[in-house]
Chains A and B, each alone.
Chain A
Amino acid sequence: NAGVTQTPKFQVLKTGQSMTLQCAQDMNHNSMYWYRQDPGMGLRLIYYSASEGTTDKGEVPNGYNVSRLNKREFSLRLESAAPSQTSVYFCASSEGLGGTQYFGPGTRLLVL
């Protein structure tokens, strides 16, 4: 089992460019999440999907959109990147809300 996979591992963008971060899980989990990690702030939830077909805003959704493509895949899109979105992005999944979350290896994003 690969668990949770994320692509790309690292990306550099210019201000205003767009990109999509991909996430997939092979554990048949219902719930998936996108977080950003910034120094000293822990992880902050951007969006989550409680189950296939649903998505909801987390703590810091502004500037992002998500798509739950199917049960396995949950993508995060930056429509117009800003330097404030420079961060490490983690995808996670769990059997249900409140369950143990399993994390991917992360995507380092630098916006110039």
Chain B
Amino acid sequence: AQSVTQLDSQVPVFEEAPVELRCNYSSSVSVYLFWYVQYPNQGLQLLLKYLSGSTLVKGINGFEAEFNKSQTSFHLRKPSVHISDTAEYFCAVYNAGNMLTFGGGTRLMVKP
């Protein structure tokens, strides 16, 4: 079985500050990794994904994430956040033996 842990349920940050949202996973086999964003009262949309190759993955809206196999982590970062980045962010893991498994979510609150 696989699982995903998002270590912070809420992250408050001031506008233009950097942010890191943490994600750790457990799986005994190779995985695909995803970050999704959910704006208020909307469905989820893909921010970025790691399938293979370079461990640094760039996504939409200036976000990037780094896959660290030894630490089984896939942390999401942005060097300078905007008010419009206020949303809930979900890390998810997929492997061939299981379906997509989501973490509990991290609510990013950007303050002016």
Known A103-B45, A104-B43: A42·B96 in contact at CB below 8 Å = no
Task: Looking at the assembled complex, report how far the CB atom of A99 sits from the nearest CB atom of chain B, in whole angstroms.
Answer: 9
**Chain B positions 87 through 112: 1 when the CB is less than 8 Å from some CB of chain A, otherwise 0:** 00010001010011011110000000
Known A98-B32, A105-B42: A41·B104 in contact at CB below 8 Å = yes
Task: Looking at the assembled complex, report how far the CB atom of A56 sits from the nearest CB atom of chain B, in whole angstroms.
Answer: 9
Q: How many residue pairs bridge A and B at CB < 8 Å?
A: 52
Report the count of interface residues on B (CB-CB < 8 A).
22
Within 8 A of B (CB), among A2-35: 4, 33
**Is the pair A90, B43 in contact by a Cβ cutoff of 8 Å?**
yes
**Is the pair A4, B43 in contact by a Cβ cutoff of 8 Å?**
yes
For residue A69, CB closer than 8 A to chain B, the reply is: no
**Is the pair B43, A103 in contact by a Cβ cutoff of 8 Å?**
yes
Residues of B with Cβ closer than 8 Å to A? 4, 6, 9, 32, 34, 36, 41-46, 49, 90, 94, 96, 99-100, 102-105
